[in-house]
Structure 1
């Protein structure tokens, strides 16, 4: 029996968690990574060299490293972050390596594939879009002195850290191209997995790239949505059902097959199942959070849930 070809979409720590789990259940994994980060090392390199922000791409590559001394050593090298206040202070070495490869070869996919070979990665990492993106959000109460006022907040860092309630997001540019390899991976997949991750800045931006959104609609793959194990930050005050509702608002044609939720994240199971049914999905409630750190996914428990759902 062959294991399923899986495409995982997201960014940051949420995608790292899903990829770490998927490595245990599939040999054919493609990570599709958001490219809207404008903070920290990624933001500095993006501004200085006019490149895609490399940080989330680096994290995805690290998650897929071969589980050997070689793979773990190079993972740690990529993740190493320089200290100090000098020119390289705060930069992750992997970010510098990726940007160096892009400087030598302007094809971002080719550069990422080379880093994957260095890690003997158990999959491939592709950018969500071929150009760096800015996220703009309509936020109510971003100014805590005006809780009813809706303002436009620009930039991934600002949106992720707002204390207001995010109503909607858009991308700038509004119709960015996706690399052909990214679109083809979605069309060729057996399963496509969205989430977990920061809802408005890591998960939903994938639905705003026209050619990627079309591929998500048209792919014969089954579609799985992994909910976060806690509702905080961008979605503080959201119910589990609210997460599905905002997805439907931003991508009305999107259909899902399965929604995976940890019991601790389900505040109203009936409402969640009703929201999932409107998207064509069933709900699977399974323990996927760490016992000692319930705000984080446990890679082994998440792998077990994925194995049962994907039939791997």
Structure 2
């Protein structure tokens, strides 16, 4: 197989930005599939002011992560991320959000707008929305009443992320929104599909809630990697153990097969328990040091190094590890994360 491996990374926000910042250090073909349920900040304001527009914030961040590493690409990436100052109507809006909304209106398509802006940035991959329809997250949350078992429905990504209760399940509205055809095609053609890291209920799980995208993920022949977060997120997964993240994912999408789970070594207090949880769902566990020491921020170089053995499995077609006693694989954190050549299989 003398070609670059096709990698599709699904998520949103800072988690997807971190993953894309790692993937650009590897010699792979990248497609980012981005959540479109954000209703806060600049994206929320634009959704209210421009009916039908897909929230651009997470899409903008993905484009910036993939911008060419030369001076021009860095200039455009910085400009995209720059927020207007002052006290007028534009205050707080990132330049990239305004550009994406304008391009979408001019070209009549979110995908066309992303491709056009990607060409300006000479992006090292393609950015696509999970749907061309703006979505809303609806969560069932317990622990908000005097009766700890009482369940309330919370609507909106910001409200769900900020809820002091415990999120039980999430759904999307409209539930029958169409998946982006280009994203579905990319998933079908992928060698490796990555979910996470990111806000579990508002950036990761939504991809498994949209019927078209879920169907593509379940039927794709790609190797499936789930990357766990460095720390629980207040409001969403506070108090969750690493294995509980896997349990929640499996409960929301029981038909989605996972081949590899990647977690930061320092973020897993009980590796044996997580390895057993991975084995129960048919996956193997890779532990690596993928954070800047002492922080909850991903180190793109270390994360890229940790992805290399997973890419090897995707390239050579190896599936999950059937031996529970060998379910935990250590990745050398000092391994070089230079460009990876997808050489021929012999």
Given the two structures, how large is their TM-score scaled by the length of structure 2? 0.87
CA distance in 2, matches of 1:96, 1:232: 29
Q: Give the corresponding residue for 1:184.
A: 185
Deviations 1:137-186 (A, max 9, x none): 0111235x554432111100000111111000011101210111010000
| Kept in 2: contact 1:138–1:169 (CA 8 A) | yes
Aligned twin of 1:208: 209
1:91 corresponds, among 93, 104, 111, to 93
Name the residue aligned to 1:116.
Answer: 118
Query: Is the 1:254–1:279 contact (alpha carbons within 8 Å) kept by the matching residues of 2?
Result: no
The 5-angstrom pairing of residues 226-265 of structure 1 reads: 226-233=227-234, 234-265=236-267
What residue number does 1:196 align with?
Answer: 197
Q: Which residue is equivalent to 2:84?
A: 82
CA RMSD of aligned residues (A): 1.2
Q: CA deviation at 1:292?
A: 4.2
Once the 2 structures are TM-superposed, how far is the Cα of residue 95 of structure 1 from its aligned partner?
Answer: 0.1
Partner SS, residue 15 of structure 2: helix
Shift of 1:53: 0.1
Aligned residues: 310
Q: In the alignment, is the contact (CA less than 8 A) between 1:116 and 1:124 conserved in 2?
A: yes
Q: Residue in 1 aligned with 2:337?
A: none
Q: Indicate the structure (1 or 2) with the bigger Cα radius of gyration.
A: 2
Q: Which residue of 2 aligns with 1:281?
A: 283
Q: Supply the distance in 1 between the matched residues of 2:134 and 2:104 (Cα, whole angstroms).
A: 14
Q: CA–CA distance in 1 between the matches of 2:171 and 2:291?
A: 31
Cα drift, residue 83 of structure 1: 1.9
Alpha-carbon distance in 1 for matches of 2:309, 2:183? 26
Residue in 1 that maps onto 2:325: none
TM score, norm. by length of structure 1: 0.97
**CA separation in 2, counterparts of 1:115 and 1:26?**
22
Q: Which runs of 5+ in 2 are unaligned?
A: 313-339, 341-346
Alpha-carbon contact 1:27-1:122 (below 8 Å) kept: no
Aligned-pair CA distance for 1:308:
2.4
Q: Is the 8 A contact 1:129 1:178 kept in 2?
A: yes
Shift of residue 64, structure 1, vs aligned partner: 0.3
CA distance in 2 between partners of 1:207 and 1:26 (Å): 27
Q: Which residue of 1 aligns with 2:316?
A: none
Aligned counterpart in structure 1 of residue 106 of structure 2, from 101, 104, 107: 104
- Using the alignment, how far apart are the partners of 1:277 and 1:214 within structure 2? 23
Query: What is the deviation of 1:54?
Result: 0.1
Asked if the contact 1:3/1:25 (under 8 Å) is kept, the reply is no
- Aligned: 1:300 with 2:301: yes
Look up the SS of the partner of 2:231 in the other structure.
Answer: coil
Task: Give the stretch that moved more between structures: 231-240 or 117-126.
Answer: 231-240
More moved, 39-48 vs 146-155: 146-155
Is 1:224 the counterpart of 2:230? The answer is no
Q: What is the CA–CA distance in structure 1 between the aligned matches of 2:286 and 2:166, rounded to whole Å?
A: 28
- Tell me the residue number matched to 1:40: 41
1:131 paired to 2:130: no
Rounded Cα–Cα distance in structure 2 between residues aligned with 1:255 and 1:280: 8
Are residues 1:291 and 2:293 paired? yes
Q: Any unmatched runs of 5+ in structure 1?
A: none
The equivalent residue for 1:14 is 15
1:242-281 CA distance string (max 9 Å, x none)? 0000111110101011000001221322221222123221
Runs of 4+ residues over 6 Å off in structure 1? none
Deviation at 1:232, TM superposition (A): 2.4
